[in-house]
Chain A
Amino acid sequence: MNSLKSQGFAPVVSDLKKDGSEWTVKEKIMLGLSPKEYWAVQLRNPFNWVLWAIYAIGVPILVGRFIFGLGWVTHSSYDYPWGLFLGWGLFTMVPLSASGFMMGTTVELFGRKDFKSIERLGLLNGLLGYLFAVVFLQVDLGQPWRLIYPMFVSLGPAAVLFLVAWHVATYLTCQVAELVPAFSEWMGFPKAKKFIKSIVLGLTIAGIILSTLHQGALGALFTYAPGKVHPLWYSSPFQWLHFFVSAVFAGLSMLIVVSTLTKWFMRWRCDENYLSNLSKLTLGLAKGASMALITYLVIKIIGIAHDNNWAYLLTGWGAWFMFEMVVGVILPLIFYTMAVRNSNASLARFAAILAVFGIALNRLNTALIAFNWQLYREIPHWRELVIVFTVYATYIVVYRAVLARMPILYTWKEKK
């Protein structure tokens, strides 16, 4: 598409074509290309070849999971009831999607309108991350068709997971609402946008409350297993705070990573306003992330001090923990700070990649690697891994499809 644009192709940016007639929905879905051109572009893209290869292997296995049961795709471990579906799909994807409430807060609540051009990307990153966390959950649940049981059939309100279920559901609704303006512009329903605008402050505050609680609750879930999670990754009083504060820089860093990817691979879809502001906004996000990182570093140290876990630092587990902290927290913190000082957006982008890696490592450590630290390590079944790749590939496909169409990376030109 980037090359197409350099040859003079103009993507859809308003209701009207150049000649003044209106785009039909079908034409909008086809990106303003003729069907023939559209499919030719899809076939030419080498990234799609990779996706087809993943689907060729992954879809049969995903279908098999629902025909033959979880036992066919996992090791059916009683000691490790949670595997990659939750370790990656829920515990890692949710913090990486914290960008939604972060950007909502920055723009709508704190009135930093200068972040407006990246706000929608942050909201979309949040919405899709949560949506696919639920998809991962549905793959993992033994009886996914009972997902609504905790809501309406049999309620266990004193359980942490009850809170997660309700909050993720309401927050998903909230995020859909926050993205209605983008959808309404694209589809041409101006009333919907107006309505959302009138309640945006309420939505944003609801987003903060729900995010604080469910990001924290994901951490609190592990306080049910005080003896099973290694003490360096466990803290009864602070676990929820560790998860919440790390979600802040995780969401911001993920937003930097995604915006960098759009700048490279979807440049055709970005407008001048987005591209020219991106470096400056990246540094703004870097500033926020560095503050969250230093806070996180300090409360992690307080966690160790509170339980007097210093001695564990000298063990093999301690070395692994130090690796996570240095590569995933301290280095990104240093690079972010240097980037802000020197106005070096590229360095901030590198720091963001490290921070995203660090958060993934932290969640996988807590949920899988340092879980049952006194027993043995569970190596996931290859089919489990294939399903993770397949679902994640779908996440990327949907993400890309929305970015290519709706006004996320560009501003919709309203009718005069």
Chain B
Amino acid sequence: MKKLNRRSFLKGGLAGGAAIAAVGTSKQALAGTHNFGGYPDSMGVLVDLTKCVGCRTCEAACNKEQNLPEPDKSFDDPSVFEERREGGLPRRTTEKAYTVVQKYDVPGREHPLFRKVQCNHCNEPACLTSCFVNAYKKTPEGAVIYDKTVCVGCRTCMVACPFYIPAYSYSSPTNPVIKKCIMCYDTRLKFGRPPACVEACPQEVMTFGKRKDLLKLAHQRISDKPDAYVDHVYGENEVGGTAWMYLSDVPFDKIGYDTHLGTQPIISYVKEFLGMVPMVLTIWPALFTGFHLLSNRKDAAKNEENKS
């Protein structure tokens, strides 16, 4: 049976309800406790931060693959690592760069640590669930892609993304759209090939494979060399799990990762409201008509008297 995710469940409406009734004993139908764990054979990337040397070959490969505009500084210019955006924060993804490498000077570590940032391709993406024109799609291969021809430009996905990934082409007056990594879905992932950045990396920092295999590999690496890694695969459970996952020898909160995101997908925080909507729609009319009848009872009684 095809797995139901929450979105298709909600969208399915009546048809979904009928299907549930028909397969009443299936696990998915036991609502309440079910979480969408991701497509079973979706692909992912394991990033071993301990191996990255900050050469930015991945950035160059991404730029070429996605036909992005030429950057202000060339890809072999290390001065970008010292650039700071507002708030003293390192560079982030922009409309011109879907992936960026950040440098962290960690006290006590021999070399600086480099961190590659791009869309993490969540199992249950916040951007997707927040989009009111249904522009986003999580493909069975694992990529979170979007249809820029329907984007209205409300930018709720940017508000919703817990990783601050989607960028927006504010500079375009006629056709501004969301810009973010799509895991090279159109040109590579769809055909089973790894994203351009993964393939270009000279240090083999990134491993492309099925997400479930990558998880095994990640834990294997940690148990093989417990001193070389912190015991945490970032992305295994964060916000419901992500396709891109990370290994590090430095605690993740020291190198810019948000470790307070929790394990629930973002949509779970919105569900209390969403669940209340149909209840208000059904209960309010009767309730307030009742109030109306109650507050006008004296007039009604008078009318009754006049009739008799």
A81-B168 in contact given A109-B291, A226-B266 (Cβ < 8 Å): yes
Q: Tell me how far the C-beta of A394 lies from the nearest C-beta in chain B, rounded to whole angstroms.
A: 22
Question: In the complex the two chains form, is B131's CB within 8 Å of A236's CB?
Answer: no
Question: In the complex the two chains form, is A110's CB within 8 Å of B291's CB?
Answer: yes
Q: How far is the CA of A82 from the CA of B158 in the complex (A)?
A: 9
Question: In the complex the two chains form, is B266's CB within 8 Å of A143's CB?
Answer: no
Q: How far is the CA of A165 from the CA of B10 in the complex (A)?
A: 18
Question: In the complex the two chains form, is B284's CB within 8 Å of A240's CB?
Answer: no
Question: In the complex the two chains form, is A220's CB within 8 Å of B92's CB?
Answer: no
Question: In the complex the two chains form, is A141's CB within 8 Å of B284's CB?
Answer: no
Chain A residues, CB < 8 A from B280: 209, 212-213
Partner of A78, one of B87, B92, B152: B92
- List residues 132-185 of chain B with CB under 8 A from any CB of chain A: 132-135, 147, 150-156, 158-160, 162, 164, 166-168, 170-177
Chain A residues, CB < 8 A from B167: 78
Q: How far is the CA of A375 from the CA of B292 in the complex (A)?
A: 49
Question: In the complex the two chains form, is A78's CB within 8 Å of B168's CB?
Answer: yes
Chain B residue at smallest Cβ distance from A222: B159
Q: How far is the CA of A217 from the CA of B174 in the complex (A)?
A: 29
Q: Does B69 contact A (CB under 8 A)?
A: no
Chain B residue at smallest Cβ distance from A207: B288
Q: Tell me how far the C-beta of A245 lies from the nearest C-beta in chain B, rounded to whole angstroms.
A: 14
Which of B88, B94, B273 has the largest number of chain A CB atoms within 10 A? B273
Chain A residue at smallest Cβ distance from B165: A78
Size class of the B contact interface (CB-based, 8 Å): 35 or more
Chain B residues, CB < 8 A from A154: 133-135, 147, 150
- List residues 104-156 of chain A with CB under 8 A from any CB of chain B: 105, 109-111, 140-144, 146-147, 149-150, 153-156
Partner of B156, one of A66, A224, A239: A224
Which of B7, B133, B299 has the largest number of chain A CB atoms within 10 A? B133
Q: Does A337 contact B (CB under 8 A)?
A: no
How many residues in A have their beta carbons less than 8 Å from beta carbons of B?
63
Q: How far is the CA of A218 from the CA of B160 in the complex (A)?
A: 14
Q: Tell me how far the C-beta of B222 lies from the nearest C-beta in chain A, rounded to whole angstroms.
A: 26
A376-B273 in contact given A141-B153, A209-B281 (Cβ < 8 Å): no
Chain B residue at smallest Cβ distance from A224: B160
Q: How far is the CA of A141 from the CA of B150 in the complex (A)?
A: 13
Number of A-B contacts (CB under 8 A): 187
Q: Does B296 contact A (CB under 8 A)?
A: yes
- List residues 46-75 of chain B with CB under 8 A from any CB of chain A: none
The stretch of A69-77, A172-180, A260-268, A278-286 in contact with B is A69-77
Which of B6, B126, B176, B295 has the largest number of chain A CB atoms within 10 A? B176
Question: In the complex the two chains form, is A150's CB within 8 Å of B273's CB?
Answer: no
Chain A residues, CB < 8 A from B266: 224, 226
Q: Does B130 contact A (CB under 8 A)?
A: yes
Question: In the complex the two chains form, is B274's CB within 8 Å of A110's CB?
Answer: no
Chain B residues, CB < 8 A from A228: 159, 162
- List residues 17-45 of chain B with CB under 8 A from any CB of chain A: none
A161-B130 in contact given A78-B94, A142-B168, A236-B272 (Cβ < 8 Å): yes
A227-B159 in contact given A150-B133, A159-B132, A239-B273 (Cβ < 8 Å): no
Question: In the complex the two chains form, is B171's CB within 8 Å of A224's CB?
Answer: no
Chain A residues, CB < 8 A from B92: 78-79
Question: In the complex the two chains form, is A212's CB within 8 Å of B284's CB?
Answer: yes
Question: In the complex the two chains form, is A143's CB within 8 Å of B295's CB?
Answer: no
Which of B10, B160, B274, B281 has the largest number of chain A CB atoms within 10 A? B160
Question: In the complex the two chains form, is B10's CB within 8 Å of A111's CB?
Answer: no
Chain A residues, CB < 8 A from B168: 76, 78, 81, 142
Q: Does A40 contact B (CB under 8 A)?
A: no
Question: In the complex the two chains form, is A109's CB within 8 Å of B270's CB?
Answer: no
Q: How far is the CA of A162 from the CA of B154 in the complex (A)?
A: 11
Chain A residue at smallest Cβ distance from B87: A376
Interface residues of chain A, those whose CB is within 8 Å of chain B, are 66-71, 74, 76-79, 81-82, 105, 109-111, 140-144, 146-147, 149-150, 153-165, 201, 205, 208-209, 212-213, 216-217, 219-221, 223-228, 236-237, 239-240, 375-376, 378
Q: Give 12 A-B pairs besides A70-B176, A77-B86, A149-B133 with Cβ atoms closer than 8 angstroms.
A: A76-B171, A109-B288, A149-B150, A149-B152, A153-B133, A159-B130, A159-B134, A160-B130, A163-B277, A209-B280, A220-B273, A223-B269
8 A-B pairs with C-beta separation under 8 A? A69-B171, A141-B154, A142-B168, A142-B176, A143-B175, A156-B131, A158-B129, A165-B132
Q: 4 nearest interchain CB pairs?
A: A142-B153, A376-B87, A69-B173, A81-B155
